[in-house]
Structure 1
Amino acid sequence: MKFSSTSTYVATEDLTVAVNAAVTLQRPLLVKGEPGTGKTELARQVAQSLGLPLIEWHVKSTTKAQQGLYEYDAVSRLRDSQLGEERVHDVRNYIRKGKLWQAFEAPGRVVLLIDEIDKADIEFPNDLLQELDRMEFHVYETGETVRAQHRPVVIITSNNEKELPDAFLRRCFFHYIRFPDLETMRAIVGVHFPDLKEQLLTAALTQFYELREVPGLKKKPSTSEVLDWLKLLLAEDLAAEDLRRDGRSLLPRLHGALLKNEQDVHLFERLAFMARRPG
């Protein structure tokens, strides 16, 4: 099984090599990069390319590693015991399987996405070391050991919000998704908007990359945001000449798709004011 670009996803050569290396080594692929560079979408496209089912585990700040294995609902069991329910005698009725358990017991190989692992507590990655390394875990309430029937393809994403432990990093194959260069971005846009006129595409991408290079920008617009912007430009039936900016405002047309906080909007307003000042 080899991963490559799909009809809806442009994968650079180094990303393709990283995915296939992780699959060959049977190690989790840890993917970092700017928000909006397609890290989460990568797992979906890998599953599609390899023809495998996808199981997604989206991590939140309150997520615990144990939830990925299973959760024991002791409260429900206590309530049922007070009501005299028959199901109370089988503890399995009160165990909810987590995403890792689902991946381990799948009848065939699957792709398991652990999305934004850096959102959780710092101990979260350490608590999954053995399970991801040995592909098994113990269920204390039933005394059974759950082992992976088929080792899943594990893809873990991180936005670099916090450092991950060294012991965890040693068990992963790492890849950083660099922001696409102009040629790659053209290919990405071509997948989503194949009929976009060349003049509009050139004008829009030139303005987009110039915007990203403005010093002091708090949040640089990402790939997903430029795609939203282009969609709006097409919906408004704008042409390349409509994107030209005058000295009164340096903000691009429909800039709300690109700039996502008031500090960056004010930055462009200040730059335009300074440009208008004599001398």
Structure 2
Amino acid sequence: MKTNNDYAMFRRKLIAAGYEPLSQEPFLQGYLALQDLKENASQVSTLLFDGEPGAGKTYFAECVAKMLGAKLLRYQLTPNAGAEQLLYDLHFLRIIQGMAGVDVPKSPQDLFSSGILVQAFQESLHGPTLLLLDEFDKALPEVDSFLLGCLQDKAIHDPHIGSQPCDPANLLVIITKNDQRTLSNALMRRTRRVYLGFPHPDQECALLLKHIPTFPLQEARTLISLANKLRAQKEKALKVPSTPELIRCANDLLVAPAEVAGSVVEQWLVAFPQDRSLLKQSTAELAGLFKYASGR
């Protein structure tokens, strides 16, 4: 039986690695996932982070890797990606040169190297490894069952590479998604799940001021209030502002001339012209709300 001290130590180490304690759930599920590595190495421990873009899903994985001293392998899934993108990294220049007769490959294996999933399984045989599959929901639905099979078998089976086992005691897989599509029920059952929304306004304000201590408190609250007005209309908006964008906006406001403060805020809050109508204030009104930050 693990004690509260074990969990408290995990929290302290993860915070020391840079993770901001905005929610209990990432700490709890992260702690339990690491216990799987220690106590139940018969399976590959897997975490699924769902939620808003910019809510800190990828950063959590980076901090866990830093805390563990693990090799971090990150792969950004692209729209309609298939399983082959996880298995192979094609050498397009070699392919083109071979077609032109400049550098004819001796075998098909000369045209590709190991993909990110194969690399992660290989690395786990030598030491702690964290595989981050970012925006996994962009991939084709059949990739769910492919990944599930690899996790369950603790090995990759492919006619081109043969079988590649992993060491489940050394491998943590973190999947992030932005609600592009629903993952398969089988894969969902296989993973620990965490949903990350945007922080509470007080938490987000504290985080912003931690990064930029000289930013005025009242204007930090105003900036977050404007962002939350847009977030409340996310069904209409093409994109809503994330916490990192608010931090960059605040930093720009400290150095920008007062007369352009409204444009700075508008640029960071509204990514696409189609969303401008969702922000009720004019550029001049926005500038008036951030006079102090802009040095006036």
Is 2:15 the counterpart of 1:5?
Answer: yes
Counterpart secondary structure, 2:241: coil
Is 2:274 the counterpart of 1:256?
Answer: no
Give structure 2 stretches of 5+ with no counterpart.
Answer: 1-8, 38-44, 284-296
Aligned to 2:249: 229
CA spacing shift, 1:9–1:84, aligned 2, 3 Å: closer
Alignment match of 2:69 (pick from 43, 51, 69): 51
CA spacing shift, 1:71–1:257, aligned 2, 3 Å: closer
Is 2:121 the counterpart of 1:104?
Answer: yes
Deviation at 1:98, TM superposition (A): 0.9
Aligned to 2:3: none
In structure 1, what residue type is equivalent to 2:151?
L
For residues 148-227 of structure 1, the aligned pairs below 5 Å read: 148-149=166-167, 150-213=169-232, 218=237, 219-227=239-247
Deviations 1:158-177 (A, max 9, x none): 01111111111111111000
Aligned to 1:42: 60
CA contact (8 A) 1:8 1:192 kept: no
Alignment match of 2:29 (pick from 18, 42, 46): 18
For residues 97-136 of structure 1, the aligned pairs below 5 Å read: 97-106=114-123, 107-136=126-155
Deviations 1:19-54 (A, max 9, x none): 112222352100001111121222112111222121
Counterpart secondary structure, 2:67: helix
Instruction: Work out the CA distance in 2 between the residues paired with 1:40 and 1:158.
Output: 10
Q: What is the alpha-carbon root mean square deviation over aligned residues?
A: 3.5
Q: More displaced, 29-38 or 261-270?
A: 261-270
CA spacing shift, 1:217–1:25, aligned 2, 3 Å: same
Q: TM-score, normalised by structure 1?
A: 0.77
Aligned to 1:247: none
Task: Report the identity percentage.
Answer: 27
CA contact (8 A) 1:136 1:148 kept: yes
In structure 1, what residue type is equivalent to 2:252?
L
CA spacing shift, 1:262–1:29, aligned 2, 3 Å: same
CA spacing shift, 1:266–1:153, aligned 2, 3 Å: same
Deviation at 1:102, TM superposition (A): 1.1
Deviation at 1:60, TM superposition (A): 0.3
Instruction: Work out the CA distance in 2 between the residues paired with 1:33 and 1:99.
Output: 24
In structure 2, what residue type is equivalent to 1:41?
Y
CA spacing shift, 1:95–1:138, aligned 2, 3 Å: farther
In structure 2, what residue type is equivalent to 1:25?
D
CA contact (8 A) 2:128 2:171 kept: yes
Deviations 1:139-170 (A, max 9, x none): 4235x421113541111000111111111111
Instruction: Work out the CA distance in 2 between the residues paired with 1:111 and 1:66.
Output: 20
Q: TM-score, normalised by structure 2?
A: 0.73
Instruction: Work out the CA distance in 1 between the residues paired with 2:84 and 2:205.
Output: 42
Instruction: Work out the CA distance in 2 between the residues paired with 1:66 and 1:55.
Output: 17
In structure 2, what residue type is equivalent to 1:98?
G
CA contact (8 A) 1:126 1:168 kept: yes
Instruction: Work out the CA distance in 2 between the residues paired with 1:222 and 1:62.
Output: 25
CA contact (8 A) 2:245 2:268 kept: yes
Instruction: Work out the CA distance in 1 between the residues paired with 2:33 and 2:278.
Output: 42
CA spacing shift, 1:135–1:267, aligned 2, 3 Å: same
Deviation at 1:93, TM superposition (A): 4.1
Q: More displaced, 146-155 or 116-125?
A: 146-155
For residues 86-105 of structure 1, the aligned pairs below 5 Å read: 88=106, 92-105=109-122
CA contact (8 A) 2:208 2:247 kept: yes
Name which one, 1 or 2, has greater alpha-carbon Rg: 1
How many equivalent residue pairs? 258
